[in-house]
Each structure stands twice: as C-alpha cells, then as structure tokens.
C-alpha cells in the first residue's frame, strides 16, 4: 500500500450502505486517515447512493436494470473499471455489493479489493447466511473481511468478528447483531491496513512469513 497520509478508497454498494456510512463517519471525524474517492452502485434505488451524495462523494450509478432492461455484468464491469481507473484508489471495498464479479474484472483492478461477508468464512459462503447458520444449529456466528478472488468468498480471510448465538435467536435478530459487528470490523480492518499490519500486496503474493496467523479475530459479543 502506498505510503501516504490518507488511504484512497472506492466503495461498491448495492443496498442501504450502513457500512459505507461507518467509513464516511470515520473520514469526516478524522478517526481514520481515509479518503473515499467514489462510490459505485449497481442499484439506482440503493440508499447508499443518498449517503454518498449527502457526504459530497462522487457517485457512479451503474444500475443492473434501466428502463426495464437488464445491464449485463460485462457492461457493468466495463464502466466500473473505467471509473476506478479514473479515481485511482489504493483499495476497493465491497460493502453489501450483490453482484458476482468476473475473474477478468478482478484481475484488471489495479489495487487490492476486500469484501465484507456475513459469516465466519470459510463456512457459509454465498447468500442467506443467517438462516443457514440457525438451521445448522451453530453455536457461533459473525462476519469476515477477506480479499476478493475469482472464486466466491474464497480469498484470504483478513479479519473476523464473532458472537454467540442465543437460544431464541431468529434470522432477523441475528442479522441485526451481526451488522453491529460489521460496523466495528470494517474500521478495525482499515486501521490494520493503514498501519501496515495487514500488507495486502504481500498477502496477495503469499508472502506471509513473520505475520501473525490470519485471520485476526475479535470477540465482540
């Protein structure tokens, strides 16, 4: 990661953007030396777009549906890559981004990409994690931040936040509890990247000798 005073971040979103708001707040209150250079949304109705515009952040809406017509992933990726090349971020963060990206796009992005996933990876990749965890009778759940690779939710896990599942838990209550963990895990992970504790270039290259074994785990019940 470049040695600079502020980490330049681009964020890809699809939904409400609560984790985007956490990053916006950290940028605005100075708790993290970051600059959100832009936000890309694949939904024009995503509330994350409102959050970004309210904060004066450049937004590119590449909606997956326009006038009833579906934008192909190839078209989305072409325009998204052009936008990222314009912004030149140091890091791309997928925060509630709900499209699967192609290997070609992932390899073409010139900086590391990380994703926030609502499970304790490598368990429960994909969707509907809270229901699946409860159906399986798991004792613990949480969220993970991992490097983005072409295989779904398969990149090196960098950080995790854990909680204990209550006996009367529902998928809805569990989702709310995990979301609170996410709001702590995202800035924690960014801080580790900024301080060089997580050297993403070396981790991507498999040069982890001397590192504390990954992932860094937080118990935030």
Q: Annotated active-site positions, please? A: 117
Backbone angles phi, psi at 53, to 5 degrees: -65, -40
DSSP codes joined into one string, 147-187: E--SSTT-SPEEEEEEEEPPTT--HHHHHHHHHHHHHHHHH
Structure token digits, residue 5: 């005073």
Residue with tokens 């499970």: 119
Q: What is the torsional sign of CA 169, 115, 184, 221?
A: positive
Q: How far is 1 from 112, CA to CA, in rounded Å?
A: 9
Is 70 annotated to bind ligand? yes
Is 18 annotated to bind ligand? yes
Q: 157 - beta bridge partners? A: 146
Backbone angles phi, psi at 159, to 5 degrees: -145, 155
Is 19 annotated to bind ligand? yes
Are residues 158 and 147 in contact, defined by beta-carbon separation less than 8 angstroms?
A: yes
Residue with tokens 């001397």: 210
Those residues with Cβ within 8 angstroms of residue 151's Cβ, 6 or more apart along the chain or in another chain: none
Q: How far is 85 from 217, CA to CA, in rounded Å?
A: 33
Q: 143 - beta bridge partners? A: 161
Q: Is the peptide bond before 116 cis (omega within 30 degrees of 0)?
A: no
Is 30 annotated to bind ligand? no
- Detail the residues annotated as belonging to a binding site for (6R)-10-formyltetrahydrofolate: 70, 115
- Detail the residues annotated as belonging to a binding site: 17-19, 70, 115
């Amino acid at each position: 990661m470049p040695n600079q005073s502020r980490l330049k971040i681009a964020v890809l979103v699809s939904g409400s953007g609560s984790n985007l708001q956490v990053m916006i707040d950290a940028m605005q209150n100075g708790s993290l030396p970051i600059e959100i250079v832009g936000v890309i949304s694949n939904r024009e109705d995503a509330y994350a777009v409102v959050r970004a515009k309210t904060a004066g952040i450049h937004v590119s809406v590449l909606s997956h549906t326009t006038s009833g017509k579906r934008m192909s992933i190839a078209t989305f990726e072409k325009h998204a890559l052009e936008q990222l090349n314009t912004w030149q971020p140091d890091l791309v963060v997928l925060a509630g981004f709900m499209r699967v990206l192609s290997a070609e796009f992932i390899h073409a992005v010139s900086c590391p990409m990380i994703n926030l996933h609502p499970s304790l990876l490598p368990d429960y990749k994909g969707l509907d994690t809270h229901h699946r965890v409860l159906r399986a009778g798991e004792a613990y759940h949480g969220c993970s931040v991992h490097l983005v690779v072409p295989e779904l939710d398969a990149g090196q896990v960098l950080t995790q936040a854990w909680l204990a599942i209550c006996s009367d838990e529902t998928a809805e209550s569990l989702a709310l509890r995990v979301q609170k963990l996410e709001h702590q895990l995202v800035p924690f992970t960014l801080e580790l990247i900024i301080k060089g504790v997580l050297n993403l270039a070396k981790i991507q290259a498999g040069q982890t000798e001397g590192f504390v074994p990954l992932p860094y785990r937080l118990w935030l019940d």
